[in-house]
Structure 1
Amino acid sequence: MNKGHIDTSKPVAIVGAGLVGAGWAIAFARAGLAVRVYDANARIAEAAIPWATGQLRALHAHGLIDESPETVAGRLQMVDSLEAAISDAAYVQESVLERLDVKRKLMTDIDAVADADVIIGSSSSGMPASAFSCDLTISPRVIIAHPVNPPYLVPVVELVPSTQTVAETTAFVEKLMVGIGQSVVRVRKEIEGFVLNRLQAALLREAWALQRDGVASCEDIDKTVRDGLGWRWSFMGPFETIDLNAPEGVADYARRLGPLYYSIAKSRVDDGPWDPELIARVEHDRRQHLPADELAARRNWRDAKLMEFAARQVESGES
């Protein structure tokens, strides 16, 4: 991954050390930064650094870090209080539970102990920062920095300022994220779900509806993406895809197929939420292909595949 220059003189802090927070810890430590990790849940805190060390060993085996896993893991420090985590830190990455009350309480707690210049990024996956970070001393220095999980393997990160975030905060976090090798998406206005999860929501809405309506099984829907759309989407986005799929480009494509897509969209306007019966059907369908006791192993398989993909990107100079 291409990385820029970053200031390693001050540590970064991870608040919330579950899969996303611990993944962020790897991303920062791999780039040479000292990382303090804190989680109020003792069980999660205890597991975070051993898990991260195991992932670092896998990254090293795939040629994705040059230093030894132990050297990188040595930059990770578990601390036992919020104040110890963020004291003198240049940046805080918050990755706590996606609940408004939890995030607001954390922001008020950070506000009480934060240094005057620390920048705070939230891993919120759809809740805008204005919902939980406004009208505090730290408010101008809070921004959404939403990753894809795991952030040390999938580089995109969405930066979404709140209504009170100042431009200097956005610039600082963009420079930091580019410096550690992330691919930055600047979201120009607050919207629920931001860009990534709104795109994912559109695909999921149709996937669940197709299964509900008996059009195709979960596995065949997955095949359509995995063995079809996903091949192109692994190296180009939807606009470039359609720009190349008509002789005269995107406008030609829109003229040819716009009516079809409009008709498809209209056919789904009355869809409601996923109800318990549909969820049970999809759960049963999925468990035919992946038993529940194999989920953890399959997640490890996914991460290994992502590492192989990342390694090929590095070899080709595309990342």
Structure 2
Amino acid sequence: MIFAGAGYSVCLFDVDPAQLERAKSNISSTLQRYEKDGLMRGTGTAIEQFTRVSTSTSLEECLNSTFYVQECVPENLELKTKVFSQIDNVIGDNVIVASSSSCLVASSFTEKCNHRDHMLVAHPINPPYFIPLVEMVPAPWTKPEVMATTRTLMEEIGQSPVSLKRECPGFALNRLQYACINEAWNMYQSGLLSAEDIDKVCYDGLGPRYAFIGPLETMHLNADGIVDYCKRYAEGAVDVQKKTFKPIPTLYDVPTAEKIQAEYNNTMPLDKIQNKRLWRDNRLAALAKLKKEIGKND
């Protein structure tokens, strides 16, 4: 929908015709809902954007005359290797192929491809319609101009790309996310806070701040520049880490997870979790709309 909203013709491929029909139905209803709620991105009406989307059960037909491919199969190395090999066999020399992989590095499934220098990871964040970040990660053989072209494309369609200089397990977002989850897990295990209060520390504490500025900029603003921050607070931060942090990696163990889930069952039982996802997406949509209206740097 993001590419279609930006004016591009989009073709969806799947071997299952029923899956393609479900996808088109979902796209149509979602665009109409977003249009009604004032949340639709890009140019044109919901109907106009929908007409830019076609489907095909033929990979060769789908990729005919294309210049950019976004692979979105499950996070399975064998499957991604197979899909990239199939794509490699039908594309031209100048087609860019990006994977939506969230952890698997591109070198693990593109090494044997003839067009591997035009392949990379472009990892969107769920739900990408309202969370614009895209992590761009090159394989060792990805051409710099391919990274540059893909970044320009992401900016053009309204996403917010970041470019990693090299491959790294977990890329960037998951590394920061895991660090946060690690401490949340450790604080819960030690009985310091309830699950509800740990979450509150983020959505009523760190979250509002990080919606507009990141951790390094926070340091810069919380003192007379980041150098001053380090002079004032670095030793204290080290002291806290020595006294409270546990060695990594932190295992997210099932017994602890069962205790956390028991807390959530009071307000978010498993049979209501889809409703909570919709609630989350609606809140993210409202935040995205607000950020667009006020401007990130105003």
The answer (yes or no) to whether the contact 1:120–1:143 under 8 Å persists in 2 is yes
Deviations along 1:99-130, one digit per CA (max 9) or x if unpaired, are 11111111111112222221101111121111
Matched, 1:34 2:9: yes
Matched, 1:120 2:97: yes
**Aligned residue among 58, 72, 85 for 2:33:** 58
**Aligned residue among 223, 239, 253 for 2:229:** 253
Task: Tell me the secondary structure at the aligned position of residue 113 of structure 1.
Answer: coil
Look up the equivalent residue of 2:251 and give its one-letter code: P
Change (3 A) 1:52 1:260: farther
The answer (yes or no) to whether the contact 1:141–1:166 under 8 Å persists in 2 is yes
The answer (yes or no) to whether the contact 2:16–2:57 under 8 Å persists in 1 is no
Task: Tell me the secondary structure at the aligned position of residue 132 of structure 1.
Answer: helix
CA RMSD in angstroms comes to 1.8
Change (3 A) 1:270 1:72: closer
**Aligned residue among 263, 271, 288 for 1:293:** 271
1:1-319 matches, within 5 Å, as: 26-41=1-16, 44-60=19-35, 61-65=37-41, 67-246=44-223, 248-266=224-242, 267-269=245-247, 272-318=250-296
Look up the equivalent residue of 2:231 and give its one-letter code: R
When normalised by structure 2's length, the TM-score is 0.92
**What percentage of residue pairs aligned between the two structures are identical?**
35
Task: Tell me the secondary structure at the aligned position of residue 96 of structure 1.
Answer: coil
Change (3 A) 1:107 1:228: same
Task: Return the alpha-carbon distance in structure 2 between the equivalents of residues 306 and 240 of structure 1.
Answer: 22
Number of matched pairs: 293
Task: Return the alpha-carbon distance in structure 1 between the equivalents of residues 296 and 190 of structure 2.
Answer: 40
Task: Tell me the secondary structure at the aligned position of residue 110 of structure 2.
Answer: coil
Higher relative contact order (CA 8 A, sep 6+): 1
Instruction: For structure 1, list consecutive stretches of 5 or more residues without a partner in the other structure.
Output: 1-25
Task: Return the alpha-carbon distance in structure 2 between the equivalents of residues 139 and 280 of structure 1.
Answer: 43
When normalised by structure 1's length, the TM-score is 0.86
Deviation at 1:259, TM superposition (A): 2.7
Task: Tell me the secondary structure at the aligned position of residue 58 of structure 1.
Answer: helix
The answer (yes or no) to whether the contact 1:62–1:307 under 8 Å persists in 2 is no
> More displaced, 282-291 or 219-228?
282-291
Change (3 A) 1:84 1:243: same
Q: Which position in structure 2 is the counterpart of 1:3?
A: none
Task: Return the alpha-carbon distance in structure 1 between the equivalents of residues 101 and 263 of structure 2.
Answer: 30
Deviations along 1:180-203, one digit per CA (max 9) or x if unpaired, are 011111111111011111111110
